Amino acid sequence: MNTNEYRSIRLMQKTLYDKLWDQHVVHAESDEVNGMVLLYIDRHLVHEVTSPQAFESLKMAGRKPWRVDSILAVADHNVPTTDRAHGISDPISRLQIDTLDQNCAALGITEFKMNDQRQGIVHVIGPEQGATLPGMTVVCGDSHTSTHGAFGCLAFGIGTSEVEHVLATQCLVTQKSKSMRIAVEGELGLGVTAKDIALAIIGEIGTAGGTGYAIEFAGSAIEALSMEGRMTLCNMAIEAGARAGMVAVDETTISYIKGRPFAPQGELWDRAVKYWRTLRSDPGAAFDRTLVIDAAGIRPQVTWGTSPEMVTTIDGFVPNPADVTDTIKRQDMEKALQYMGLEPGMAIQSITIDKVFIGSCTNSRIEDLRAAAQVVSGKHVAPSVKLALVVPGSGLVKHQAEQEGLDKIFLAAGFEWREPGCSMCLAMNDDRLNKGERCASTSNRNFEGRQGPGGRTHLVSPAMAAAAAIAGRVVDVRTLN
């Protein structure tokens, strides 16, 4: 075959991202390659923090939502995780949630209210309800919308102006990203999870490594992951800088969706599945960047700094800024160590913990809770740990965990068992770290002040967080008795 033939074949081979993109382009603003296009949005998820200003502007402009049945709303960021019988005590949080309720009621938008059992973190309930389906474009005013890419969707976070834009037009004005394929090949070791894959990748490419890219996660280790694991991984794509992460559709995807409330049924189900099976990158499709990672080489990960890229392995040490030649990077490390109250050269396993948080859109699904419960079963939280929280991702996750008796395992071990919401991942409600407190957390960001002003976050997997609660320090879950 000559070069031209080869080139045209290459052009016909599409990545999963190409396929999802091409399916949704309504109009191109210019003839430029990678210029602005009008992209159709199938599913719009809405929560209380980033929507009020969008609804207000929409109303002021005299506009109405383009397609109400594309929207699913839920309050998650501000909700209390303790007893909800008396509503929300913080008047500012309450106003924000009341505003969401009023906007949804006025416009006829489906909303799971705070006391609905289906309420939960927006990125947990979408998939749980079958409201996230392969082939969709999914947006939400929340950066962790990348989570939904686990279903072979194009899913990404947007700002409030774009929330309004999607409400008004069912479209976004946007630009195609470059494509990156990260293949994780081989078998993960015992006690190593999707969270560790995510942190290991971020450690390798950095928090800006994925900027300007949509990442497809592939390879045998990804194919072996459950949907929960794939969601954890795609959730963290944004921490690598990529707006969107995605995984091809396979039997694991299809069997997860089957029977969910908003999933198609009967003849439509068969038609849908036939289409969904095409949602994978063609063999030989070209990516702008590719990376291959050996699954067997990934060890449990722990962050030591104030950015998810400041991460090392459980048998590692706090690095020394003096070893870094780049001035800006060195200064950032120094600031991070000062904030975190850590010294260069300290063993990661010598870091003691004040609080433990198991929850967030990264790690609050049933599989996460099972993994943590397995570690704590028959043991007790260390006396030095002031608070160990389990916050299920949704009311339905909570219910299922209770059916399996996980709540009793956590409670017997000294954990608190809470109501669903974002909770101490970003501390917009009362769940937070106090100044100087150190937390082993299954959430996604260890930024300064993220879990509470002056709070110190170490990002880990659910099993590692559970192990830290028992030991009172960061410890290798693989060696915990």
Partner 1 sequence: MKKFQTFTGIVAPLDRANVDTDAIIPKQFLKSIKRSGFGVNLFDEWRYLDHGEPGMDVSKRQINPDFVLNQKRYQGAQILLARDNFGCGSSREHAPWALQDYGFKVIIAPSFADIFFNNCFKIGLLPITLDHTLMNRLFNAVNAVENYALTVDLASQALTTPDGEQFTFAVDAFRKHCLLNGLDEIGLTLQHAEKIKQFEQKRRAEQPWLFDI
Within residues 317-336, the interface with partner 1 by CB under 8 A covers 328-329, 331-332, 335
Listing from the earlier edge strand, what are the strands of the sheet with 71-74?
110-112, 71-74, 43-46, 137-140, 154-157
The window from 135-143, 218-226, 361-369, 387-395 that contacts partner 1 (CB under 8 A) reads 135-143
Q: How far is the CB of 403 from partner 1 (least distance, A)?
A: 27
Query: Structure tokens of 349?
Result: 């396993």
Instruction: Please state the φ and ψ torsions of residue 215, each to the nearest 5 degrees.
Output: -100, 130
Residue whose CB is less far from partner 1, 429 or 442: 429
> Binding residue for partner 1 (CB under 8 A) from 128, 164, 354, 419?
164
CA atoms within 13 Å, Cβ hemisphere of 306: 22
Residue numbers 382-421 binding partner 1 by CB under 8 A: none
Judged by CB under 8 A, the number of residues near partner 1 is: 90
Are residues 260 and 162 in contact, defined by beta-carbon separation less than 8 angstroms? Answer: no
3-state secondary structure of 155: strand
Binding flags for partner 1, 96-115, as an x/- string (CB under 8 A): x--x----------x-----
Residue 175 CA to residue 399 CA, distance in Å, equals 41
Per-residue string for binding with partner 1, 34-53, x by CB under 8 A?
-xx-x-x-xx-----xx-xx
The Cα–Cα gap between 47 and 83 comes to 21
Nearer to partner 1, 72 or 375 (CB): 72
User: Is 141 among the residues that bind partner 1 (CB under 8 A)?
Assistant: yes
The single residue listed with the structure tokens 């000062």 is: 338
Site string for partner 1, 254-283 (x = CB under 8 A): --------xxx---xx-xx--x--------
Which token pair is 223? 């194919």
Interaction mask 440-469, partner 1, x per CB under 8 A:
-----x-xxxx--x----------------
| Smallest distance, partner 1 to C-beta of residue 349, A | 26
Of 465, 439, 451, give the one whose Cα is nearest residue 369.
465
Residues 344-373 contacting partner 1, CB under 8 A: none
Specify whether the backbone of 108 is left (phi greater than 0), alpha (psi in -120 to 50) or beta: left
Helices (H), 111-250: 122-129, 160-169, 194-205, 220-223, 227-235
Question: How many Cα atoms are found within 13 Å in the side-chain-facing hemisphere of 205?
Answer: 26
By CB under 8 A, what part of segment 182-211 binds partner 1? 207-208, 211
Q: To the nearest whole angstrom, how small is the minimum distance from the Cβ of residue 305 to partner 1?
A: 10
Kindly tell me which residue out of 3, 30, 325, 481 binds partner 1, with binding defined by CB under 8 A: 30
